[in-house]
Every structure is written in C-alpha cells, then in structure tokens.
Structure 1
Amino acid sequence: MIPGRSATTVPLPQPIATGQSYDIEISVAGGTIETRIDGQLVDTTTGLAAGSGKVGFRQSNGDGERATVAAVSVTAPDGTVLLADDFTNGLDKWDSPGAVITGTNLTTTSCGGQPTDVLPIKTNAGTIYLYQSDVWMDAKANEALAKHYWQPLRFDDAGVILPIECGNSYQVTIPTGRPAILPPPPAISTGHAGYRTHWDVSGSLARAQTFTIPKSGKLTGVRFTSFQSGHPNAPVTLELKRVHNGAIGATVQSVEIPANQVSWAARWVGLRLDRPLPVQPGDQFALTVSTKSATGAYGIAYTDADPYGGGQAMISHDAGATWQVESNRSLHLEAEVTP
C-alpha cells in the first residue's frame, strides 16, 4: 500500500492456485517498486516519493482474501538482512494494533451506500449541511447510474453531530437568492415523480411510450430519458409514429443517435422534427426506442407509481413488428407543441 494512493489490481500471467506455494518478491529502487512471483515480474509501479516504508500484512475484512505466509525477509541493497522471520516465535513482533478509538457511530450503514461528502447550503434560516451517501448499485461497472441519498445533518446544543437517521424524506428550507426563471412547462409530460432506471433496449427488444396531444398547434419535438450500458455497438433509434385506435402505425420521422452521444447517466435524448407537424387535440403518437446493437443496451426511465393518463408504455420483442402494452407503467417523455 502506498500512502495517498488507492490499491492497484493487475492481471497475473497465470492464476494463483489454492494450496500451492509461491515466492513473492517486492523490490524498491529509488522511485520504482517491482513485484515478482516466483521470479517473474508481474507489476512495476513508479513515481514513489517516500523516503521510508514498512513491512506488514493486511487483515481480511470479510472479502475472502486468505494467505498463509511461511517466512519473511527484508534485505538491503548491499545484502544486509534487515529482517528475517519464520514465525516460529509467534506474531508478537507483528501484532501492533492502532490506538483504540472511542466515540459514537454517526451511521453504521451510510444509509445504504458509502459516505461521500457534506454539502453546506446557505438558506433564509441559516446554513444547513446535507450529508450525501453514494448508493452504488451492487458494484455495477456503470457508476454513472449510482443513486444518491441526501439528509440534513442535525447538531446538539454543543455543535456535535447527532446520529444519522436515514429517513425517507426531509423538509429543507429554501436557499437564499432570487426566484429562478423557469422555462415554460412542456405541452406533454409523463411526469417526474417515482422514476427508476432499467436497461434492456438491445437487439430485438424495443420500447415505446404513447402520448396524446392536448391542444391545437404544431408538434416540434419529443425527448426521452435514456442512457447507455455495456458499450452498445450501434446507435439508438428514436421514431415518432402515429397511433390509431391504440395501435402504433406509420413513422412520422426518425433519428439515429450514435452511442458516443448518449450519456452513461440517465439524460434526455431527443427527436426534433424537420418541419413542425400540425396537430389537433386528441391526436395520438408514440415514440419508439430501438437499436441494432448486439452488445450492451440502452436504458429507460420508468414509473409504475403514477402512470401518465394520456398514453401507455409498450414493449416489443420482435424489433417493433408487434407491441404489447405494459399496464400501469409510463416511460419518461416530454413533447413540445407550439401555437
């Protein structure tokens, strides 16, 4: 372990076999550390700026790391043996626990994640401090999908932080400043509450959300929340289609968005019509999402909590040839209708 650096994992030229003995050699020369297994170089680390170091063993914390060490020796460049131990006299010289720390745990669970930071926010009632926990989804490779838990910290009269409760919701005072100038709401929205992410749009699996025009005007564009996962090797295709009697019909316009233009985190991807399309109240359309990618997938944001009343989520398992309704579900979508 190098102070100030995270642990480094390197691939080995051959697997380590359980029950087999190996000679591990770590040599330090100037700013370079070399690691060898049975004489074969497996890693070189450079840029070391420490003048001294220690020899020790790391205790496993339930991560499955196990090793039996038969003997240890530390040798200077001139051959002088600085340390040699075959453990026949026990581990007394190695057992040096740190100072005992007493106190109160603020949280033993970090509210389902790992503690990340504390954000101070100035408000009309003074400064509040929001504790953040990074809820990494089962150590998945796409960290952009990690969720975040926020909770205002509480303090006692002496200013000591009180234990974190990990509640479901909290009231937070509005920050100071001038009211924001918000953009006008979209003409069509499936809402924003209760959404979660999922990724399965790949190959023959496609998804769609239908919607209803609420007013006369011109339909100018539709946007849909998506992201990529697992390195798709083809663009994601958005198609605006007409809907007749609940059935998805002819294509109005489509767009292909390359994978390198789709975020790893859930964000809007959009289809802007080349020519605004005149529409009337009650007209129905669908935005379909598909890809020819054979690897990875594109994602959706969906909710089953408060479905949009003007349309429904649909799924296809044959690249859009047929569609099935997903009852009581909405995909995250907005559309613009101008006068």
Structure 2
Amino acid sequence: MRTNPITSIPCYVAAIVLTVSVFCRIPKAFSQAKSAAVSVNFDKDGHRVTRFSTVGDAIDAHDGEIALFNGTYYLYGTSYDCGFARGDKKAPFCGFKSYSSTDMVNWTDRGFLFDAQTPVWQTRCNGNTYGCFRPHVIFNERTKLYVLWINVYDNVSGYRVFTAKQPAGPFTEVAEPKLAVNSNMPAAGLNNGDHDTFVDDDGTAYLAYTDWRTKGSIIVEKLSADYLTGTGEYVGGITKGSTEAPGMFKRNGIYYIVYSDPNCGYCSGTGASYRMAKAPLGPWGESKKISDNSCGGQPSFVSTIKLGAGTVYLFGSDLWNHAAKNEAPANYYWAPLAFNDDGSIKPMTCEQAFKISPSNNKATPGKAAGLSYRLHGDIARNIQRRQSFKTAKSGMLTDISLTIFKNGYPDAGLQIDLYKADLTGAPIGKAVYSQTLTADAIGWAAKNIIIHPKVAVTGGSRYCIVLQSATATGVYGMAYNDDVKTTAGVESYSSNGGNSFSVEPNRVLKFAVMIK
C-alpha cells in the first residue's frame, strides 16, 4: 500500500536502521555517527527529514531558533508531545524544550527550559488560550545571564522574560516587560506576536516583533541594558502588514530583517522576504523576496554562527504538518544564506543537506548518508502492520525498541505481539509475548518505547512483531523506510484486521532488538 490515507502523517526522519542486530543500549544504538556531520533537510527523493535526538526520539522543539554559546549549538522550541492543539480548549500546554549539539547533527535532549506543568502556566498557555510560542535566548555579557523571551497572549506586552545561568536553564521568570507598541491595549488580546532577539556588536540588544494591531507589521525596539524590557526607542511600520516572524542579524555593517511574507500561521510554503538598513532603528529599505515557499515551510529564524575566521547566517524555517492542530511531527529546514557582493541576499536554493566546518566556518552542500525514514500513522481498527527479523545470536531476547507515536486521541491502546515467523515473515502459532500500551503511554512525537519480552531465542531464528489497535478514534504510527535492500526481514500490511497481509517490498520499520 503505497498511497497514504488521510490519517497518514507526511513527514520524514533520518536514523540508523537496526532491524537485525544485537545492540548494547538504546541510546548508543540510535545515535548518529559523529564523523558524518552533515545536517540533512530532505532525502534523495525530496521528502522531508525529521531529526532524531541521540537516544532515537524525534526532536520536539518547534517555532524557535538555533543559538551558539561557548562552541555548542542549542536548539530551542515549543514542545507538542503532550498533545497541545490549537483551538482545543482541553489540550494541555507542553512547555519549551532545548537540545544541544556540537555539529548540528547529533542532538542531546536537554529537557524543558522551566516547569510549564504548573496551574499558572497551563492557564496562560493551554488550548483555552492563543498558546505560548517562539523561545529565543541571548547572553548578556554584563550580567552573565542567559535571557529567554517567549511570546504569550495573556498580558499587554505579548511577552514574558526569564533568566538563567546556563543556556539550557532552568530559567526563572522576571518582571513582565514593557514595550512601546500597544502598551495601552487590553491584556489577553492579539497585541504583539512572533519575535526575535538580536545583540549588536557593542552589546546593545534589540527586539524585532510583530504588531498584530496593524495586521502584521514589523517593529524593532531597543532593549534595556539587562535585556529584560524595552526602552521605548523603536521604529515601527518596517513592513506594511501581512508579515510576521522576523529574524534580525548584522553582516558587514548592514542590518537585515528576514520575515514571513505573507503571514500565515502554521502554513507550509509561505514566502520569505527581507529588508536592509544601516542602523537597527532604520531607516529600512525596500522589501526583497528570497523565496516563494521557504523550502516548504514558514520562516522561523536567522542565526549568526561565528566560528573560525568567518560567520555563517543560518536560515531556519518550520516545515509544518499541513496546519495540523498538533504539530509534533513538524520538521525543519536549516541552511546558510548566501550573499551577493553588494550585500543583498541571494535567492534560496533549498539545499538537501549542508555541512559547516568549524575549522574554516565554510558552509558547503552535503549529501545525506544512511537511511531516511518517514513517519506514517494508520494503525487503527482493521489496519495492522508487522515486521519480521532474524536473530543474530542465541540468548535471551530482553528488549525490543519501537519508534512509536500517536495522532489524534486514540480510545484504545496499541497491542504489540511477538511471534515466531516463517520465511515470508508470517506468524507461526500463538504469540510468545504480548503487551498492550495504553494511549497515555504513547506521545504525539515519535519516541523509542521499549518492551521486555524476555524470550529465549536461537541464533538464525525468525520472529515477527505485529502492531494493532481497536481504537475507533485517532491512529498510531511508526517510522519506516522504503529503500532498504536487505533480506533481514519482511514488512507487511493488513487492512482487514489481520486476515491477510500484503508484503511491501524494500520497506522496513524502525526498531531494534537486544539479545543477551
């Protein structure tokens, strides 16, 4: 079955296939090779690639930025794994996460920036509100504190501010900031939106933000010396409206703002434009477009990456999940901007992959290595999937790791059965192990879940994993790849409740086994 049903989630991931091997521990098994420091956006067929953390979970940090502190990259973003959904009044707020990396390939989950599960933060940010988004972090050299700005909609300014001693926090909230624009408007309304924080060479910081009262024009306001609030010095109307998500940076004495043009929340494929100025508060020049679709996403940030003898200006866009209410499966496009001799930005070319060399800081096109996986959700009611494998040695099959997610609100659990299998991958006899995971035990973002069969196996024997659910609402899904040239196992699909299965050639589900 090559056509994806409506319940399919069309996003893609890059990981190491481990369908037949013995591995030491899950974290090492799913980490990507550090020698292949190529950051991949799309596979060879142009499908979106979702990045995994070093333990094999899909990265769950969206609409934020990448920042470089002390030689380490930090990815900040909004989490959707707990089930946050726009417009769903019962949906919880998940919080903000960070990941760290030394090469923008191997990302370590650093956890949440602060505890967002408290009643206060749920009231401010859950599905009964407009939500809370876009974490941006800058370092204040004078105070030696990292300063976090997030976009909220429960106060007048539209933002809340935090400080921490470390880039990944924990962050502590400080006083509500005051900004010049919309300061007399009522609280809990659409005042100010998507923003970016920018620190100039002299240590002066600025906030570039979206003014919703003018239907999406861009503002730049100078921040206080501690970066915790506005100063009232600003320039408004940099754009004329219908824009959002500014990313501000400086190159060779010229200031730039790149923004979504037009504004279109959670849309896939919105344009990206920019303006230039000789000073942060302008005057700002005319709009110039560099992409009609932001490589399939919506502009999110431009990060200034200073390494070696040069600087790279990394453009990021969120590859949204087709405006789904929950964006846990959303992906990312990251690649350096290119410039003409006069300082203008060249049109974006949407690189499949790229590599930044710390030694000379050159950004060069790269090539995806290994397999790229898609996330597909369709396991429900009559639809089942199974994957066979051959044991590498005799011993005790202690663990099976499966990369699983849910979409929607399943009203039944996910049943996992392990059978002995024949050469076609079909089950033989009764299940040797069975476990049902509750819906609450499975997140909206794809993560490794480990079951413990503790079944004695003989080397070279064949087994198969069967995944099924009786849910009448929502679906479960797994990562898979369709370009596997191996005889290690067979993946097959049933649409009639398991009465018959169809083999899907070259397809493999993402899983791993441990035999001791």
User: Do Structure 1 and Structure 2 share a fold, with TM-score over 0.5?
Assistant: yes
Q: Tell me which residue corresponds to 1:51.
A: 184
Q: Tell me which residue corresponds to 1:222.
A: 400
Alpha-carbon displacement from aligned partner over 1:64-108 (angstroms, at most 9, x marks no partner)? xxxxxxxxxxxxxxxxxxxxxxxxxxxxxxxxxxx9951533333
* 1:217 Cα deviation after fit: 2.9
* 1:153 Cα deviation after fit: 3.1
**Structure 2 counterpart of 1:151, which letter?**
A
Distance 1:124 1:224 in 2: 40
Q: Tell me which residue corresponds to 1:149.
A: 333
Q: Tell me which residue corresponds to 1:180.
A: none
Q: Tell me which residue corresponds to 1:324.
A: 502
Distance 2:343 2:294 in 1: 21
Task: Give SS of 1:137's match.
Answer: coil
* 1:192 Cα deviation after fit: 6.4
Alpha-carbon displacement from aligned partner over 1:22-74 (angstroms, at most 9, x marks no partner)? xxxxxxxxxxxxxxxxxxxxxxx9855743699989999799xxxxxxxxxxx
Distance 1:47 1:122 in 2: 35
Q: Tell me which residue corresponds to 2:458.
A: 279
* 1:238 Cα deviation after fit: 1.1
CA contact (8 A) 1:154 1:161 kept: yes
**Structure 1 counterpart of 2:514, which letter?**
E
Q: Tell me which residue corresponds to 2:450.
A: 270
Range that drifts further, 159-168 or 264-273: 159-168
Distance 2:386 2:296 in 1: 33
Distance 2:359 2:475 in 1: 39
Distance 2:309 2:397 in 1: 44
1:109 aligns with 2:287: no
Distance 1:9 1:311, change over 3 A: closer
Q: When the two structures are aligned, how many residues end up with a matched partner?
A: 247
Distance 1:272 1:9 in 2: 38
**Structure 2 counterpart of 1:132, which letter?**
G
Distance 1:232 1:119, change over 3 A: farther
Corresponding residue to 1:295 among 449, 458, 473: 473
Corresponding residue to 2:391 among 207, 213, 218: 213
Describe how 1:1-339 pairs up with structure 2 within 5 A: 50-51=183-184, 101-119=285-303, 128-155=312-339, 161-173=345-357, 193-246=371-424, 247-249=426-428, 250-273=430-453, 275-280=454-459, 282-338=460-516
Alpha-carbon displacement from aligned partner over 1:238-275 (angstroms, at most 9, x marks no partner)? 111110232212311111111111111122223212x3
Structure 1 length-normalised TM: 0.62
RMSD: 3.7
Distance 1:212 1:116, change over 3 A: same
* 1:126 Cα deviation after fit: 6.0
Alpha-carbon displacement from aligned partner over 1:196-215 (angstroms, at most 9, x marks no partner)? 11111001111011111122
CA contact (8 A) 2:316 2:335 kept: yes
* 1:162 Cα deviation after fit: 4.3
CA contact (8 A) 1:121 1:175 kept: no
Distance 1:123 1:337, change over 3 A: farther
Distance 1:55 1:227 in 2: 38
Q: Can you give the 5+ residue segments of structure 1 that lack an aligned partner in the other structure?
A: 1-7, 12-44, 64-98, 177-190
Distance 1:123 1:138, change over 3 A: same
* 1:328 Cα deviation after fit: 2.1
Alpha-carbon displacement from aligned partner over 1:260-319 (angstroms, at most 9, x marks no partner)? 11111122223212x352321x21111111111111110121111224430111112233
Identity %: 30
**Structure 2 counterpart of 1:51, which letter?**
N
Task: Give SS of 2:318's match.
Answer: strand
Distance 1:279 1:134, change over 3 A: same
Distance 1:264 1:240 in 2: 24
Q: Can you give the 5+ residue segments of structure 2 that lack an aligned partner in the other structure?
A: 1-85, 90-152, 158-182, 187-211, 217-240, 243-261, 265-282, 361-368
**Structure 1 counterpart of 2:388, which letter?**
T
Distance 1:255 1:125 in 2: 55
Distance 2:475 2:436 in 1: 15
CA contact (8 A) 1:313 1:327 kept: yes
Alpha-carbon displacement from aligned partner over 1:158-197 (angstroms, at most 9, x marks no partner)? 8765443212222332699xxxxxxxxxxxxxx9612111
Distance 1:128 1:55 in 2: 34
Distance 2:488 2:358 in 1: 33
CA contact (8 A) 1:206 1:316 kept: yes
Range that drifts further, 165-174 or 144-153: 165-174
Range that drifts further, 122-131 or 295-304: 122-131
Distance 1:9 1:277 in 2: 49
Distance 1:325 1:56, change over 3 A: closer
Structure 2 length-normalised TM: 0.42
CA contact (8 A) 1:254 1:271 kept: no
Alpha-carbon displacement from aligned partner over 1:116-138 (angstroms, at most 9, x marks no partner)? 12455566676644322111122
Larger Rg: 1
CA contact (8 A) 2:87 2:325 kept: no
CA contact (8 A) 1:224 1:268 kept: yes
* 1:141 Cα deviation after fit: 2.3
Task: Give SS of 1:111's match.
Answer: helix
CA contact (8 A) 1:312 1:325 kept: yes
Task: Give SS of 1:263's match.
Answer: coil
Q: Tell me which residue corresponds to 2:198.
A: none
